[in-house]
Amino acid sequence: MYDLLVKNGTIVDGTGAPRFRGNVAVQGDTIVAVGEVSGPARETIDADGCIVTPGFVDIHTHYDGQVSWDNVLAPSSINGVTSAAMGNCGVGFAPARADKHDWLIQLLEGVEDIPGTALAEGLTWNWESFPDYLNALSQREYTIDLGAHMPHAALRAYVMGDRGGDHMERPTAGEVDRMAHLTAEAMEAGALGFSTSRTHAHRSRDGLNIGTLTAEDPELLGIAAALRKTGKGVIQLISDAYLTADDDFAAAELQLIRRLAQTSGRRVSFTVQQTDDAPDRWKSIYREIDAMVADGLPVSAQVAPRPIGAILSFASTTNPFVVAPTYRRIAAESASIDARLQALADPEVRAAILAEHAGFHASEGFIALITRGFSRMFRMTDPVDYEPHESQSIAAEAARAGIDPAAYVYDALMEEGGRRLLYMPLINYARGNLDDVHGMMTGDHVLYGLSDGGAHCGTICDGSFPTTTIALWSRGSKSGLSTPLERLVQGYTQRNARHVGWHDRGVLAPGLLADLNVIALDDLQLAPPEIVQDLPAGGTRLLQQPRGYRWTVKSGVPTFQQGQWTGRTPGRLLRGERAGA
């Protein structure tokens, strides 16, 4: 007798092969048969009218703090993810001496927009070294499996003390050796890899650049050599190469990535997106990746399936008026969101904020877009439209109404009791469509990632990337571009799993882990995010509910039914690579 039988579904097995109708039989945590399977089972799921896929593998999340207090790990878990990698972008909470706890919280609060009060209350800190951190996580249970990278910023501060937070400081040769030793120790203990950040966008709560920003070859290659020595782990990084209009800078960063791959002998992935300032940079980066792969270097671009968009609201982190002193004062002094919204409803406060906003001018960058990019601001629809046209923008609405756009935006944000959300695509939308995103996603050496699940709690809500990948691109964009469903599923299953060395999952085949989704594809869509207060210390975050997931099964155990958690937590910490069947 099988423990679980998923029957009558259309199987998209994760290999990229054509879909077929059949059943999946599970014994314990393992798939034992796929296809024409019959026989009794203790539990049966009827997947008629649905696709059956492997559980999704998200290689770019930031649950490093959330794992201390939460075992559900939404939004990833509610979007079909059954395995995830955290500790990306060089940030995390281990290794950590006691005198660096507050510093690490401030760093994650700034870089990943995770409320510091929630981290301060929720983090257990029952670790110091990275192996200690893994041991602490191994005592907990989750809805998904988790692996963790060794984060460069935490490592640097652990070894260099206060100097490690200053990107202009260079480690001594002894300090590089110490970082390399600790990285090797982490790999042997089960770290998934090593991550670092080289972007000006990553700053602490105090606005300081991340300490890893300008790390040089001796430091980075010294650490990379530790991966070669152990023969374990991957390298993940974010660089400003994709957003610069400076050809020389981009070339230098790509050469560094080449050296990291050469020195480590391991798989390397890095962020590639599109900005307004360099809308075609991704194409030249892809050519360089092609050249690296042709030279035998396993380098991949991590890409996103839609624009990276800020969620603007008076009830969350950012909106066009955060630059106004009156707004900042009210936000700082209000004891609750409701108190803030009540103050903002005062006509005199509105007038003061609008006057201050009118006097603020930023010529370029994200702050200019967020404060005055009214033609890139859109009301969030249900389901969410991630390819809106400029004619639907707040600027267009204001023009049709004959109203100053700033005043129009203020009043729009006061709708729904002050909880109205506006969507503002910042990245991957330079030409007002998704044509370039399709180009990035269909490249030869790409990984689907960058969801940032667990991060950007009040600004960005992209943990739903797996849902967008399957729903939007299997149907097609407004330009008529699409990707075969089988390839999309492969990207979020087998391809991602193999990249991080998890060969025991990502495909529906006998002998592999019984992680799977049952999805009503025609119903698959995303509702607008909601502002919820479910973090420690009453912290708020944006949480977006998908529709269309009928079942998610983790290690043979149904964890979600019709989008609702079943209360079961079969997920565990993953240490290092996993052998296949």
Which of 205, 201, 225, 221 minimizes the C-alpha distance to 213? 201
pTM for the structure as a whole = 0.97
Rounded-to-integer distance, Cα 83 and Cα 514, Å: 12
Measured distance CA(43)–CA(35) in Å, rounded: 18
Q: Evaluate whether 274 touches 237 at the Cβ level (below 8 Å).
A: no
Task: Look at residue 38 in the predicted model and tell me its pLDDT.
Answer: 87
Distance CA 64, CA 195 (A): 13
CA distance 451 to 490: 17
CA torsion sign for 61, 493, 311, 526 is negative
> Does residue 545 contact residue 536 with C-beta atoms inside 8 Å?
no
- Nearest CA-CA partner of 269 in 260, 280, 279, 281: 260
Closest CA to 86 of 65, 58, 114, 62: 62
Instruction: Specify the pLDDT at position 365.
Output: 77
Q: Which two tokens stand for residue 269?
A: 């992935």
* Residue 333: other Cβ atoms inside 10 A: 10
Beta strands in 63-221 (DSSP E): 81-86, 145-151, 193-198
One digit per residue, the tens of pLDDT, for the chain of length 581 reads 999 999 999 999 999 999 999 999 999 999 999 999 989 999 999 999 999 999 999 999 999 999 999 999 999 999 999 999 999 999 999 999 999 999 999 999 999 889 999 999 999 999 999 999 999 999 999 999 999 999 999 999 999 999 999 999 999 999 999 999 999 999 999 999 999 999 999 999 999 999 999 999 999 999 999 999 999 999 999 999 999 999 999 999 999 999 999 999 999 999 999 999 999 999 999 999 999 999 999 999 999 999 999 999 999 889 999 999 999 999 999 989 999 999 999 999 999 999 999 999 877 778 888 999 999 999 999 999 999 999 999 999 999 999 999 999 999 999 999 999 999 999 999 999 999 999 999 999 999 999 999 999 989 999 999 999 999 999 999 999 999 999 999 999 999 999 999 999 999 999 999 999 999 999 999 999 999 999 999 998 999 999 999 999 999 999 999 999 999 999 999 999 999 98
**What Å distances lie between residue 406 and 322, 330, 348, CA to CA?**
13, 19, 16
Under 8 Å between Cβ of 508 and 54: yes
**Whole-angstrom distance, CA of residue 558 vs CA of residue 579:** 24
Report the alpha-carbon distance of residue 261 to residue 256 in Å, rounded.
9
Could you tell me the CA-to-CA distances from 136 to 129, 443, 576 in Å, in that order? Answer: 11, 39, 16
Distance CA 212, CA 204 (A): 12
DSSP secondary structure code for residue 25 in this structure: E
Residue 451: phi and psi, rounded to 5, are: -70, -25
pLDDT score of 516: 98
User: In angstroms, rounded to a whole number, what is the distance separating the alpha carbons of residues 305 and 520?
Assistant: 20
Question: Taking each helix axis from N to C terminus, what angle separates 325-333 and 337-344, rounded to the nearest 10 degrees?
Answer: 150
Look at residue 544 and give its three-state secondary structure.
coil
The token pair that represents 216 in the structure block: 């040089």
Query: Cβ-count burial of 61 within 10 angstroms (0-12 exposed, 13-18 middle, 19+ buried)?
Result: buried
Q: Are 320 and 310 in contact (CB under 8 A)?
A: no
Closest to 301 (Cα-Cα) out of 572, 60, 26 = 60
- Tell me what pLDDT residue 361 has: 84
Report CA-CA distances (Å) from 63 to 93, 233, 371, 472, 534.
10, 19, 30, 26, 15
Residues 6+ apart with CB under 8 A from 397: 408, 412
What is the C-alpha radius of gyration for the chain, rounded to an integer number of angstroms? 23
Residue with tokens 């006509």: 347
Cβ distance 570 to 72 under 8 Å? no
What lies within 8 Å, CB to CB, of 335 at 6+ separation is none
Q: Which helix (H) or strand (E) holds 57?
A: strand 56-58
User: What's the rounded Cα separation, in Å, for the pair 267 and 235?
Assistant: 6
Long-range contacts of 163-172 (CB under 8 A, 24+ apart): 164/211, 165/103, 165/107, 165/204, 165/208, 165/211, 166/211, 167/209, 167/210, 167/211, 167/212, 167/213, 167/214, 167/215, 168/214, 169/211, 170/216, 170/218, 170/219, 171/218, 171/219
CB neighbour burial string for 66-101, b if at least 16 within 10 angstroms, e if fewer = bbbebebbbbbbbbbbbbbbbbbbbbbbbbbeeebe
Residues 6+ apart with CB under 8 A from 247: none
End-to-end CA distance of the chain: 22
Distance separating alpha carbons of residues 401 and 405, to the nearest angstrom: 10
List the beta bridge partners of residue 209.
Answer: 203
Please write down the long-range contacts of 161-165, taking CB distance under 8 Å and 24 or more positions apart.
164/211, 165/103, 165/107, 165/204, 165/208, 165/211
